[in-house]
């Protein structure tokens, strides 16, 4: 049964998992590993109301007002949607007794969004095929989304402990 408590819990799990992923990305960045920011996501989403959904190169698209904030907001909103997908597939009981494998599997599955929707729409091609290092970029995407999956589990465990 869908309750306000469950919706709030799922939102917190998604936010927590996204924060885990962002911490991972910040660590990688400090170690000199290239990571992507979310400004271009904001530009992509911000241009959608104008009827623009695909680009040859999103970096050359006209900037939109507040694109940095819009990119971050979109990033976290997507994290909440993916958390909701996990709970919809596993059932509400998963929130009270989270298990690792479904969370990581869900996280790994979410890499389909950048590989097959976002990157092609923003000009990087399917599986980052139009970037200088497609395999390396795709593997980084996969690792980042596996970390997001681990974050789903960790956030759910933390919330389950807090509400127990």
Q: Convert the pLDDT of each residue in 93-139 to its tens digit.
A: 999 999 999 999 999 999 999 999 999 999 999 999 999 999 999 99
Which one is predicted more confidently, 36 or 81?
81
Q: With 80 as the cut, is the pLDDT of residue 162 above it?
A: yes
Q: What is the pLDDT of residue 126?
A: 97
0.75 surpassed by pTM: yes
Domain spans in the chain, listed from the N-terminal domain onward:
4-163
Q: What is the pLDDT of residue 1?
A: 77
DSSP-assigned letters across all residues of the chain: ---HHHHHHHHHHHHHHHHHHHHHHHHHHHTT-----SHHHHHHHHHGGGT----S-GGGSPP-TTHHHHHHHHHHHHHHHHHHHHHHHH-THHHHS--HHHHHHHHHHTTHHIIIIIHHHHTS-GGGTTSS-HHHHHHHHHHHHHHHHHHHHHHHHHHHHHH-
Token pair for 123:
């000009």
Instruction: Tell me what the mean pLDDT of segment 58-85 comes to.
Output: 97
Phi/psi-derived region of residue 123, left when phi > 0, alpha when psi is between -120 and 50, beta in every other case: left
- Per-residue pLDDT of 33-71, as tens digits, reads 988 889 999 999 999 999 999 999 999 999 999 999 999
Q: What is the pLDDT of residue 2?
A: 83
Q: What is the pLDDT of residue 111?
A: 98
Q: How far apart are CA 2 and CA 11, in angstroms?
A: 13
């Amino acid at each position: 049964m869908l309750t306000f408590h469950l919706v709030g819990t799922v939102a917190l799990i998604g936010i927590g998992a996204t924060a885990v992923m962002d911490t991972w990305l910040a660590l990688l960045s400090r170690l000199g590993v290239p990571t992507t920011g979310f400004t271009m996501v904001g530009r992509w989403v911000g241009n959608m109301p104008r009827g623009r959904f695909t680009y040859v190169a999103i970096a050359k698209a006209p900037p939109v007002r507040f694109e940095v904030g819009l990119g971050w907001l979109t990033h976290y909103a997507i994290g909440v949607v993916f958390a909701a997908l996990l709970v919809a597939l596993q059932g509400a009981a998963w929130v009270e007794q989270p298990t690792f494998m479904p969370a990581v599997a869900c996280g790994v599955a979410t890499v389909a969004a950048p590989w097959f929707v976002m990157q092609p729409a923003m000009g990087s091609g399917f599986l980052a095929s139009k970037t200088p290092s497609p395999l390396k970029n795709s593997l980084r995407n996969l690792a980042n989304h596996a970390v997001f999956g681990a974050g789903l589990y960790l956030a759910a465990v933390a919330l389950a402990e807090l509400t127990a």
